[in-house]
Amino acid sequence: MTPTLYFLRSSEEKIVQNMLKFTHDNDKMYADFFGHSNKDLGLYALLEHTISGAIWCRQLKCEQNAKGFIDEQTPILHVVVLEEFRGRGIGTFMMEQFLQEAAALYAQISVHVPNETLTLAFYEKFGFVRSGENTNEADKTAFSILIKKLEKKEIIRPSDGYDPTRWMD
C-alpha cells in the first residue's frame, strides 16, 4: 500500500515535534515554530490512517550551532519513518517527492548522519555526498555531514487529480 503525502503546515508543527523525538539530534530548534517561515519545507506520510513518517528541512543561522550546518542558504534535512512502518519504501517515497519540492526552493540541502548506520547508505543512494565529519564529544559517536545539490525541474506529484488548494483545508 502506498502512503499519501501531505505538506506540513504551520498548524501541524506538533507532527514535526513528535517526529523529532526519533532523530539523533532531538533539538527543539529543528521543530519550534515550524512552518511559520518560508524557509521551512516538509511533508508527512499517512498510511493506514496513521502518520507513518515525515521529512522536513529548515534554514537556520550560524549562531544556532545546528548539526549539519553549511551556510544560511542551505537547509538542514530530517527524515523519520516510524519503526513499525520501516521496510515498506516509505522513506524512499517521501525522499523522491521531497527532493523535487526542495529543488524549487533551494540550491542544495544538508543532513547530519551517524556513520555507523544504514541511514548513511540511504542518503548516498539519493546522491548526497560527504562534506565533512564531526564527533559527538559526549559519547564519541562519529557523524558525517552530507550535501545534495538540487536540480530545479518540473514537480510531479504522486496523487491523481492533485489540487494544491486541497491540502490547505
Predicted confidence (pLDDT) per residue in 108-142, tens digit: 999 999 887 788 999 999 999 999 888 777 777 88
For residue 7, count CB atoms less than 10 angstroms from its CB and return exposed for 0-12, middle for 13-18, buried for 19 or more.
middle
Which pTM value belongs to this model? Answer: 0.84
Q: Quote the pLDDT of residue 169.
A: 41
Whole-number average pLDDT of the chain: 85
115 found inside a domain: yes
> What is the extent of the structural domain holding 135?
4-152
**167 belongs to a structural domain:** no
pLDDT in tens, 73-90: 999 999 999 999 999 999
Q: Which three cell numbers stand for residue 82?
A: 516510524
Q: Kindly tell me if the per-residue pLDDT of 26 is higher than 70.
A: no
User: Can you give the pLDDT at residue 127?
Assistant: 97
Listed residue (98, 89, 142) closest to 120, CA to CA: 142
pLDDT at 164: 55
For residue 159, tell me if it sits in a domain: no
pLDDT value at position 24?
60
| pLDDT higher than 80, residue 22 | no
Q: What is the pLDDT of residue 168?
A: 47
CATH assignment at residue 101: 3.40.630.30
Number of domains in the chain: 1
- Say yes or no to pLDDT of 10 above 90: no
> Do strands 40-47 and 129-135 pair parallel, antiparallel, or not at all (unpaired)?
unpaired
